[in-house]
Amino acid sequence: IMIVVGDTNFYRNLVHKNKLYSTESCNSFIKKLKEIENKKGIKKAMSTTVARELISHLKDNEDSESYKDCLFASKLLYDHCSEEDNTNYLLPLPESQNAKSFFHVENKNSIEHQKNISSLLKKISISPDSSTISNCKSTIDSVIDFLDQAEKSLIQEMQCFAKSIDPSFSDWTLFCNDSTKRRKYIDYIRNNQFKKDTATAYLTALRQDLYSQSIFTGNICDNHIKQYLETNKVALKLRISFFEKFLTKNDLFIAKNRNFIWDEQIIQCVGKSSSNDNYVLLTDDKMMIGAIIGVFPHNSSSYYNSFDTYLKALGF
Q: What is the pLDDT along the chain (316 residues), one digit of tens a residue?
A: 799 999 999 999 999 999 999 999 999 999 999 999 999 999 999 999 999 999 999 998 999 999 999 999 999 999 999 987 666 788 989 999 999 999 999 999 999 999 999 999 999 999 999 999 999 999 999 999 999 999 999 999 999 999 999 999 999 999 998 999 999 999 999 999 999 999 999 999 999 999 999 999 989 999 999 999 999 999 999 999 999 999 999 999 999 999 999 999 999 999 988 888 899 999 999 999 999 999 999 999 999 999 999 999 999 8
Q: What are phi and psi of 277, to 5 degrees?
A: -95, 125
Nearest Cα to Cα of residue 80 among 90, 70, 68, 71: 90
Nearest Cα to Cα of residue 51 among 262, 312, 271, 225: 262
CA distance 127 to 210: 36
Q: What is the pTM of this model?
A: 0.94
